[in-house]
Structure 1
C-alpha cells in the first residue's frame, strides 16, 4: 500500500505528463519505497480536466487527451459537444460548428495556443472538424474572459493547445490506427463505405533537456452516406390562404461522401536557462470532402402550370395535404458532385524572458491562413427538353406524406431507363438573356474563400510580494486580418442543344436506388467525366444575376488591443480568495470593398464600391474565486465583451435601382433610388455578462452549478435607412435627389440571454471500492433569451440557441478494460444549412439525441506494454438530422439519415 497520496492537481498533471518530476520529488521525500501512482485513461483525462477547471480563476471547461494522440473523437468538434453548456450542429453527419451558452458560432472565437484562428467558412465561426483530435493535447473553453485574454467573444473562447515537449521527462512515440465502416453501405455505385484513420505522434528531449521536439501526423479517410429528403417548401394549395398547405416541391438525394484530411503538427521548445524559453509551433491541415449526390427533383404545387397541371389533394390533416397526386407531372433526374478543398496553416513563435525575480517579458508573433475552394456540379436529365410533356414523359405522380420523413412517391415511369431519360434540361430554367429558357442543362457553383491573419503581441509582468495582489501585467497586441470571397456560377448547356442526348454507354453506371422515397431506381452516370470530356458549354451566371457580383467581396480589419490586469491572491475570512481584474481597450479600423450592381436590359452593370469605419471600445472584466471551505469554491465574474459582426454582413457589395421616370422628384418617399446590401460600418455586438457559480471538488470527481446573464447592448437587424447614392453613375436624366431608401444590416436594439448550468463527475468508488471502476459524467443547461428589433416587435429566435442541452457518459475502467457510452441532447434551435448556390441559409433544426459507444482493452495487464485495442460506434441509434420551416414542425425541409459508423483499431505507445 502506498504511503504517498498525490494531490488532485498532481494526479491530473501527472496523467498528462506535465508534472512527473514534481511528483517524483514528493514521492522521494515521503518514502523511498513508495509505489508509483499513474492515473491514465478516462479517469486520468477527467482528473486533468478537473484540475484545469479548479485551478483557473475564470469559469472554464476543459478537455484533456488520455495520452498524446488519444482524444477519442474524430475531430475537436465532437469532443467540444460533450462539455457543459456547449452544443454542436451536424453537417453531413459530423459535428461541425459549436454554440456556447446558446449563442451561435458567430459569437465564439477559436484560438490555437492562444492565437486567433482564421476560418474556411464565409464568416468567423470556426469549422472545428478541420482540426484532427489526435494532434490536440487539450482544449480550454473560457466562458468568462479576463483582460489578458486578447481574443475573446460574447459566447466564449475555445483555446486548442498542442503539447509542450519539455513537459515530458522521456521520449514518447504513439501510433494509432482504426478501420471504419458505415452500415448504410454504398448508396452510390461509385461511392465508398470503408475507410480508416491513422496517426503518429513523437515527443523527445535533447541537449540535457533544454530542447524539446514534438511532431504529429494524422490521416483521415472517412466515407459517409446519407439518405436525404429535402422540400422546396409548403405553399397554400391554389395559393389561397383559405386552402391547406401542400408540398411545393421536393429534392431528395442519396449522398456518398469521402472526407480526406491530413494534419501535421510540429512544436520546437527551447529552454537554455531558467530565465528564458522559446517555443515555435506550426499546425497544418488539408481537407478534401467529395460528395456524390443522385436524386430526382419533383416540382409540386410551385410547379403547377409548367412541370405539372396542378395538385389534387386526397387527404388533409390539420391544414396540410398529406396525400394526393401531381397531375401530368414531369420530373428532373440529377447526377451531382460537390467537392470542397480547404487548407489551413498556423505558425507562431513565443518567447519568455525573466529579467529578475520581479519582472518578466513575453513576445509572440503569429500568422495563419486558410484557403477554400468549392466545386458544385449539377447535371440534368429527363424525358424531354423544356416545360411540357411528350408521350410517355409525364405521369400522375401520387404522394403520401410520412411525417418527419417527408413524402413517399408512387411512380409509374422507369427513371433508370437510358432510352427514356436523356441529358437535357426538362424545365425552362434558363435566363432567356444569355441562355435560352430551355437550355439550362446543368449548373456549376465555384465559390472560394481566402482568409489571412497576422499578429504580434508584447506583454510584461511585475510580480508583487506583499499585499492582496500577486502581480500586475500589461501589454499590447496588433493584428491584421483580411478575408475575401469570390463567387462564380456557370450555366451548362449541351453542345448538341437543342437536341437532348442519350448518355453515352461509357459514362453509364449501375442505377442508384431511391427506394427510401419510393422512386425506385434512377439513371446514374459519371457527370464530371461528361463535363471534362467537353459535352457542355459554360455561360457565366454573373452576367445576369446581381447576387453573384455582390457575393464577391473583401473585408479587412486592423485591431490594436491594449490591456492591464492585476492578479488577486489574498484571503477573505481566513479563506483563499484569488482572481483578477483589468481593462482592455480595443481600437478597430475596418474596411470593405465590393461591387455596386444595377441591371440594364437583363445584364448586370458593375461599379466599384467601398466603405468602412473606425471605433474604440473599453472592456473591463473581473473574476473572483473564494474557497468557502475545503474544496468548495464560490465564483463570480463580470465583464463587458464584444463579438465582431459577420463578415458577409460587412460586405460593401450592394444592388441599386434607378428609375429615370422619377428623376425630377424631390420627395424622399418617392425617390428614383432604392437598393440593398451589406454594411461596412457595422459595429460589433456588445454585451455585459455576469456569472455566479459554486463548485465542489472531490478526490475523483466534482459537482458544479452556475448561472449567467448576458445583457446584449445591441443586436444586428436588417433595416431600411436613407442612403446616399451620389457615388454611382447613372444615365441621363440625372436625378434631383441623391438619397433613397436602402435595406442593410444595422446595429439595433439589444436584449438578454440567460441560463443555468449544472455538471458532475461521480465515481462508484464514492459508494464502495467494489464499484471504483465505474463513473458517471453528467451536464445540463437551460437557456432563454429575449431580443427585439424594436420595443413593440416580437422577440426573435436567436441563432444557435437550444433551450435545453444535456450530456451523459457512463463508463467502466479497470483490469485493462475500458468501456463507455455517451449521449448528448439539444432541443430545437435556429441553425444554418446549405441552400441555393451553396450559400448558408437559416432554418429550424429539430432536437436530437446522439449516442456513441466504445469498448477497449489495454494489454498492459497481460504484459504487453503500450498496446490497446478499441471498438467504437458513432451515431449508435442512427439519429436523423431534421429541419423545418416557418416555425412549423409539419413543414419538414430536411430529413437526413446517416447510418452508424463503426471503427475498430489499436493504439501502441513505445
Structure 2
C-alpha cells in the first residue's frame, strides 16, 4: 500500500509541546492512502508553524483515495481546545454533543461528549486503523477520555472503501499516534500548563506531558523506541436554571392554559483527571518491518451537585389572577401556589457521582514487501472497563409561593425578603429521600487481519488488494438492582407516618449546610440560599443512607406501624441488571485501484466489495407471569401458558455485502472532482441488544350474578433490549469539488445523500410464545426495533487561505471557514398497519406516543433524526508570522433533537383526579416530551510565542463570550425553554521545551 510522506509537528506528548510552541518538528507517519508510488525509505520534511501543519493536512485531503478531512498534530495543538472531542468540532460536517450522556440532558459537558458526522451519530472510532472503544455498552470510543497529547493526527473519512473496516455510516474517525521512525534520531520534549476556570475562583488545574524517542542501527536491523506520557486535570463549574414541563390547567377565570409546576436552579462542580501512556517499538531489515504498540488511556471524573427542583403534583398548581400568558396560552409571568395549602413541594438534593474508565490496546504488526508484493498481518488485543457510582441525598421544603417571569433570555425567579428568609431557615426543611445507582462494564476484543497488495506495471491498473479479518468481542454491563434505587425517607404522601422528619426536631437536625450560590450565572443573577445535605452523606453510602432511613423507621414506630427496612442497591443475581453479549465477525474484501493518466482530464479511483458475517449471542433471561380470574369463566377463551422464569441465549446471524466506488477526476493540477458511492452499516449498540424480556398475561372481565365473562385477553411485555436487531444500513452518494489554489489555500464543496434503513427506535413488536397446546400466542412487546427509515442529505463548504501578499506583518494573516447543511427525515414503521408512517394521521400513527407525546396525551408525529443540526459552521482568524502564532475560532450549530423519554421530560400521572384539568378522570395520562439542544455558538482563542527553537509559551481561552447553552422541550404550544447552562470562561497558560 502506498504511503503518503507527510510531516506533523507532534507525536504523542510532543504534540502537546507543539501545541504549545509552534516549533518545527520533523516527522513522517503513515497517513491516509494516496495514489503516489510507495517509497522504500521515508523522507523527513521539515515544517514550521501552524501554516505548515495546515499545508500537510491539505495535502492529505488532496491525495487521499477517499473523501477525508485530516488534522495533523501541529494543527491540533494550535486549536484552542482541550480534548479530542473539541478538536473534531472544527472539521466541516462534524458536530459534538455538550451533555454528559444522551439520556441525561440535565448535565452539561464543558469539553463536549459524543461526535456526529454529517448529522449522524453512527460514527466508527479507530486507533491506528484498528478498533477502539470504551466500555459503555456502545461500540465507539469516548473521545473525551483520550489524552490529545498522545495523538499525532486525526483522519475523518466521509465515505468508506472496501478495505476499511465496516461500522461507520456517518463516518470513520481514526486517531493516529507517532512511531519512532517518524523522527530522524533522538527526540524529546516536555510541556506543562495550568488552567483557570472563571466560575472556580481561585482554583487552577495542571497538565503535564512528555515524549522521548530514538532509533539505532544494530546487527539485526534498525530498531526504534518511543515513550509518550500525559496527565491532565480539569476543574469546572456549571450553573443552571430549569423549567418543568407545561401542563394543561385552568387559570383564575376558568380559561384553559399551560403552566409549569415550577422552576428551579442548580450548580455542579466537576473535576476530572485524564492519564495516558503510549509506547512503541519498531524494527526493519531488508524486506521486513514490524511494529509493537501499547496504548492506555485512563479517565476519572467526579462531580457533586446542589439542585432544588419542583416535585408537587402539577395539577395541584394554581396561578395568581395577575398572571399573563402568550398567544398559545403558555404562562409568561405569574405566581404559583399549591391548592393543598401546604405549599409547593421542592426537593433539595445533594448529588455526588464518579466514573472511572480505561482502555488498553496492545497491537503488533508485521509487513513483508518484495517486488510487487506487500503482505501485512496485524494482531490486536483491546480491553476496556468502566465503573460508576451515582448517589443522591435530599431534603425538601414546602415553599408557600414561587413568582416567575419567563419572558427574558433566562428565567427570572423573583423572591422577596420573606421568601429568602424562609428558604434559608433549616427548620423549614425535612429529610426527603435517597437514591443510588451503581454500574460496571467490561469489553474486550481480539482481532486479526491480513492484507495482501499486488502492484501492477500497467498504464491502467495500479494495484489489487484483498484481505481477511476476524474478531471475537465480548461486552458485559451490570447495573445495580434496582438500577436507580429511589427510597423515601419521609414524604407527605406516606400514610404510615404521622409527620415528616423536619430538621427542627433535634433528632433529625444536623448534617446539612446553607449553600449560597455565590457568583451564580457569573454574577448576572441572584438566587436564594438553600439548605442542602452535606456532600459527605452522598459519598458515605451505604452507612449514611442507613442512618437517614432510621428516621423513617422511628416515625413509623411512633405512629404504631411496622415498616419495611431500607434495602440498598446491590450487584445481585437479578438478571435484569446484567447485559452479557458476545460477537464474532468474519470479513473478506477485494479492491482494485486504477487510473487513466493520459486522458485530457486524468481519472483514477478504486472499486471494491466487502463481505462481512456477524454472529452474535445475547445471554439473557425471559420472565412470564399471568394474572387470571379464579373459577370458571365464559366469553373469550384464555390461552393456557405456564408461568416461568428462565435463562435463554439468543443467537443472531446476519450477512452484509458492502460495495464501494471512489473516483477522482483531475481537471488541472489544482482542481479535482470526486464521486463516491457505497453501502455502509452500523451495528446496534450492545445496550440495545440486551435479552431481558418480561411478558404478562391479564384479562378484562365483567361479573354478573356470579358469572365471570372474559371480554379481552391482554398479552403484553417489555424488552430491556432486542437481541434480534439488525444493523442500520445506508446507501450513500458523495460528489465533491476541490480547488487547491495555494499550499495552504483551498476551497472545497461536497454534496452527499445517505438513505437509511432499519433505524432503531422504541416501538411495539410481536413476541411469540407457545401455549400448552403448542399454538403460538402473539405478545405485544415494547422495546427497540428496526422500525424506521430515513435520509440525511446536504452540502459541505470549506475554505482556508493565508494572505501572503499582504505587506509586512499582515502577511501572517489567514482565515478558515466551513459550513454544513443537513436535511433529514425519519419515517416510523407501524406494525399494526404494516406501513411506514409519514404524516400525522392518528390512526396510522397509533404507536407514535413512544416517540413523543405531550402532557395532554396528544402525539407530535414524526421527528427528525437525533443529534442532527440542519446547519453548523466554523470561522477562524489565523496568524502565523515569525515567533507568533495565534487563532481566534468560533463554532456554531443550530438546534438538534437530543431525544425522547429522556430524564426529566417523561412521566405518567396515573388517574387525573383534578376537576380543573382537561384530562380529569382519565387513567394513565402519560407524556414524553422531545428534548432539543438550542442553537449554540462558542468563541475560543489561542496565542503562542516561540522564544527559541526549544522554548515556547502560549495561552488559550475557551468561551470568551461567556455563552449560555439552552435546551428546549417540544410541546404543542411551541418550543418551550427547558434549561439554561452557564460555565464561564477558561484560560490556559502553556510552556513547552524541546530537547
Q: What's the TM-score, normalizing by structure 2?
A: 0.78
1:649 is paired with a residue whose SS is helix
Q: Is the 8 A contact 2:944 2:952 kept in 1?
A: yes
| Residue 719 of structure 1, aligned match among 746, 754, 763 | 763
Aligned equivalents of 2:968 and 2:181: distance in 1? 52
1:166 is matched with 181
2:113 is matched with 96
Gaps of 5+ in 2: 11-23, 30-43, 100-108, 338-342, 492-496, 550-565, 628-642, 703-708, 829-834, 840-861, 907-927
Aligned equivalents of 1:680 and 1:289: distance in 2? 32
Aligned equivalents of 2:211 and 2:932: distance in 1? 41
Deviations 1:720-757 (A, max 9, x none): 33211349xxxxx9998632222333324523221111
Q: CA deviation at 1:367?
A: 1.8
Q: Does 1:470 find its partner at 2:450?
A: no
Task: Name the stretch that deviates more: 580-589 or 879-888.
Answer: 879-888
2:378 is matched with 364
Q: CA deviation at 1:568?
A: 1.7
Aligned equivalents of 1:705 and 1:68: distance in 2? 23
2:366 is matched with 351
| Residue 256 of structure 1, aligned match among 269, 272, 284 | 269
| Residue 830 of structure 1, aligned match among 875, 878, 897 | 897
Q: Does 1:866 find its partner at 2:878?
A: no
2:164 is paired with a residue whose SS is coil
Q: Is the 8 A contact 2:447 2:472 kept in 1?
A: yes
1:29 is matched with none
Alignment of 1:443-592 (within 5 A): 443-488=435-480, 489-491=484-486, 499-500=501-502, 507-509=511-513, 511-513=515-517, 518-529=526-537, 531-532=540-541, 534-537=543-546, 539=566, 550=576, 552-571=578-597, 573-592=599-618
| Residue 87 of structure 1, aligned match among 80, 95, 104 | 95
Aligned equivalents of 1:532 and 1:572: distance in 2? 74
2:964 is matched with 880
2:194 is matched with 179
1:278 is matched with 290
Q: Does 1:793 find its partner at 2:838?
A: yes
Task: Name the stretch that deviates more: 587-596 or 156-165.
Answer: 587-596
Alignment of 1:1-400 (within 5 A): 17-19=26-28, 38-66=46-74, 73-91=81-99, 92-104=109-121, 107-185=122-200, 193-207=203-217, 210-238=222-250, 243-271=256-284, 273-299=285-311, 302-305=313-316, 314-318=323-327, 319-327=329-337, 328-354=343-369, 356-383=370-397, 394-400=399-405
Q: Is the 8 A contact 2:268 2:303 kept in 1?
A: yes
2:781 is matched with 742
Aligned equivalents of 1:691 and 1:736: distance in 2? 50
Alignment of 1:750-765 (within 5 A): 750-765=789-804
Deviations 1:844-902 (A, max 9, x none): 11111111011120002xxxx31111111101111222111126764222211111111
CA, structure 1 residues 165+723, in 2 after alignment: closer, same or farther (shift >3 Å)? same
The two structures, once aligned, show a CA RMSD in angstroms of 3.6
2:244 is paired with a residue whose SS is strand
2:725 is matched with 682
Q: CA deviation at 1:903?
A: 0.7
Q: Is the 8 A contact 1:410 1:518 kept in 2?
A: no
Aligned equivalents of 1:567 and 1:620: distance in 2? 14
CA, structure 1 residues 889+866, in 2 after alignment: closer, same or farther (shift >3 Å)? farther
Q: CA deviation at 1:71?
A: 6.7
Aligned equivalents of 1:174 and 1:284: distance in 2? 20
CA, structure 1 residues 11+653, in 2 after alignment: closer, same or farther (shift >3 Å)? closer
Q: Does 1:673 find its partner at 2:715?
A: yes
Q: Is the 8 A contact 1:485 1:554 kept in 2?
A: yes
| Residue 846 of structure 1, aligned match among 934, 941, 946 | 934
1:659 is paired with a residue whose SS is strand
Q: Is the 8 A contact 1:259 1:289 kept in 2?
A: yes
Q: CA deviation at 1:415?
A: 5.9
Aligned equivalents of 2:976 and 2:822: distance in 1? 25
1:24 is matched with none
Q: Is the 8 A contact 1:409 1:518 kept in 2?
A: no
2:592 is paired with a residue whose SS is strand
1:95 is paired with a residue whose SS is coil
Q: What's the TM-score, normalizing by structure 1?
A: 0.85
1:596 is matched with 622
Higher relative contact order (CA 8 A, sep 6+): 2
CA, structure 1 residues 403+503, in 2 after alignment: closer, same or farther (shift >3 Å)? farther
Q: Does 1:710 find its partner at 2:754?
A: yes
Deviations 1:148-170 (A, max 9, x none): 10144111100000002102102
Q: CA deviation at 1:175?
A: 1.2
Q: CA deviation at 1:791?
A: 4.3
Q: Does 1:820 find its partner at 2:887?
A: yes
Aligned equivalents of 1:217 and 1:69: distance in 2? 16
Aligned equivalents of 2:568 and 2:731: distance in 1? 45
